[in-house]
Amino acid sequence: MSIVPDGWKPIHTFDYDTFEKLAGPIYKPPQQVDGQQRYGFLVEKRHCNPYGMLHGGMLSTVADTLLGSVVFHATGGVPIATIYLNTEFIAGAREGDWVEGNATLRKKGRRIVFTQGDFYVGDKLIATSAGAWAIIGA
């Protein structure tokens, strides 16, 4: 059984329930790098399908949140919306696994921003994602 790494904190500590807070908890490390973001989560039973494997919907939720956070930081926090998200599932994860995702900025245009990310359990790649976000009002 994995545990949350030292220093990692929940990404949302709001007093109200966001979708990510309800799906999570999703964690971030103490330090981030410009143009990149890292998130992780501990796979709980409620994140699994009936076969005991991590549900693709949970991983897609984390992918949307993680890749979107790269865009949020790259745009200075202006309103954004996901317009495309592709997640390719490569391997599985089970209850008790620590899943960690790393996302980077690919291209920032005036109205659309592109990102990509990879998700791991240990050193095993379990999924890749790529997406595009619209800058609202641009």
With H, G, I as helix, E, B as strand and everything else as coil, classify residue 50: coil
Q: Could you tell me which residues come within 8 angstroms of residue 52 by beta carbon, excluding any fewer than 6 positions away?
A: 94, 95
Domain membership of residue 39 (yes or no) is yes
**pLDDT of 59:** 96
Domain presence at residue 4: no
Per-residue pLDDT 10s for the chain (138 aa) are 678 888 999 887 666 677 777 787 899 998 877 778 999 999 999 999 999 999 999 999 999 999 999 999 999 989 999 999 999 999 999 999 999 999 999 999 999 999 999 999 999 999 999 999 999 976
Q: Quick check: pTM over 0.85? A: yes
The per-residue pLDDT for 138 is: 60
Q: Which residue's entry shows tokens 């994602």?
A: 129
Give the H or E element holding residue 20: helix 19-23
User: What is the total count of domains within the chain?
Assistant: 1
Q: Is residue 1 part of a domain?
A: no
Residues 6+ apart with CB under 8 A from 79: 135, 136, 137
In angstroms, what is the C-alpha Rg of the chain? 15
- The CATH number of whichever domain residue 65 belongs to comes to 3.10.129.10
Q: Which domain holds residue 59?
A: 9-135
Q: Would you state the pLDDT for residue 19? A: 76
Residue 35: its pLDDT value, please? 76
Strands 98-108 and 112-121: antiparallel
- Asked whether residue 20 is domain-assigned, the answer is yes
Residue 2 falls within a domain, yes or no? Answer: no
The verdict on residue 79 lying in a domain is: yes
Within a domain: 3: no
Distance, CA of 19 to chain centre: 13
Which run of H or of E encompasses 124?
A: strand 124-135
